[in-house]
Amino acid sequence: MVFTPLDKQKQKQKHRKGLWSPDEDMKLKSYILKHGHGCWSSVPVNTGLQRNGKSCRLRWINYLRPGLKRGMFSITEEEKILTLHQILGNKWSQIAQHLPGRTDNEIKNYWHSYLKKRMAKTVEIEDRVKDECTNGQNQISELSPSSLKSTPHNSSYDSFENMEGSLIDTDQSQNCNLPKVLFAEWLSLDQFHVQDMGGNFDHFNNIFESQSSNDSFLMNESFDTKSNSVSYDEMLQLPFKFEDQISESGLVDYFPGEFNINCDHIYTEGFQLSNFSEE
DNA sequence: AAAGAGCACAACCGCACCCGA
DNA sequence: TTCGGGTGCGGTTGTGCTCTT
């Protein structure tokens, strides 16, 4: 379909803004479920919606898309957001990839409305503790233990902070019998002996199997689910399972129970592998 | 009961990037 | 190589609800 400048101007004038009505939602949802979105700018034309394509896309991604979780964030999700924000900053879309069913917009809003304040409070408490320690008046016991416990500086957060220095919480890694795969984007390459896996999954598989269970590996940047055509089914053939281990080791976190085939690069995600067992 | 302050969430805007012509 | 359209992302704004005074 070709639009003349006049057509485009007319379309622009017609575009509705503001909240979506249930009727608009229904039209958009049923159309996309039936035909897929294709080119977003053609969606309003095909559905008769007086919205621009961008607005349709946003509505679909943030609200209508199947599989979205609604409602409160769990403690685990909060911890994940805080931890990942420490590492990734305001990369909401990347953070959202770690939280299946949550959108970047939802996480961003949650951060601005709640978590940011919580972090600020945590910093404030820490500053107080530091001051008191510096002054030789260690009165930490006066601080609420529960308030400290609820901060991200326990559990996973601490471990990620450790990663910046020593990369691995050695005590924990020694205690853990599981083999580990560390990913390049989070970690400095020169601090590890890099195993070149060449982006080949069979190779990765062989390397993994050939090592003792306590060895760590660093997956190189060429490991890409798309370019190397590693499908979800193939992932399931592996003699490992992906586990959510973030709170245990601080090393990794990923996809409990499933592998997200939509992610571009596995190496952007840290995760830990354990020996495979049938669930 | 009314006003307004605060909050949560949805949606918009602008910019950057990618890709095809 | 350049340009324009499409898309994705992060920041910001708008709106409606709830709570407080």
The full 3-state SS of A192-229, as one line of letters, equals CCCCCCCCCHHHHHHHHHHCCCCCEEEECCCCECCCCC
As for how many domains chain A has, the answer is 3
* Nucleotide nearest A109, from its CA to each C1': B9
Do the domain assignments include residue A155?
no
* Nucleotide nearest A21, from its CA to each C1': B10
- Domain end position, chosen among A149, A183, A199: A149
Confidence (pLDDT) at A201: 38
- Best-predicted range by mean pLDDT (A11-25, A53-67, A117-131, A193-207): A53-67
Greater confidence (A260 vs A112) lies with: A112
Give the residue nearest to nucleotide B7 (CA to C1').
A113
Measured from the CB, is A94 under 7 Å from any atom of strand C? yes
Q: Are residues A110 and A178 in the same domain?
A: no
Q: What is the dihedral of CA A275, A276, A277, A279, to 10 degrees?
A: 130
What are the structure tokens assigned to A251, written together?
A: 């090393």
Domain containing A238 equals: 161-275
Do the domain assignments include residue A195?
yes
- Number of residues that this document lists for chain A: 279
Q: Which residues pair with A271 in a beta bridge?
A: A181
Measured from the CB, is A59 under 7 Å from any atom of strand B? yes
- A27-31 average pLDDT score: 84
Cβ atoms of A43 and A56 closer than 8 Å = yes
For A67 and C20, how far is CA from C1' in angstroms?
Answer: 38
Measured from the CB, is A61 under 7 Å from any atom of strand B? no
Do the domain assignments include residue A69?
no
Cβ atoms of A68 and A101 closer than 8 Å = yes
pLDDT digit string, tens, across residues A243-260: 332 222 222 233 333 333
State the Cα–Cα distance between residues A158 and A82, nearest whole angstrom.
11
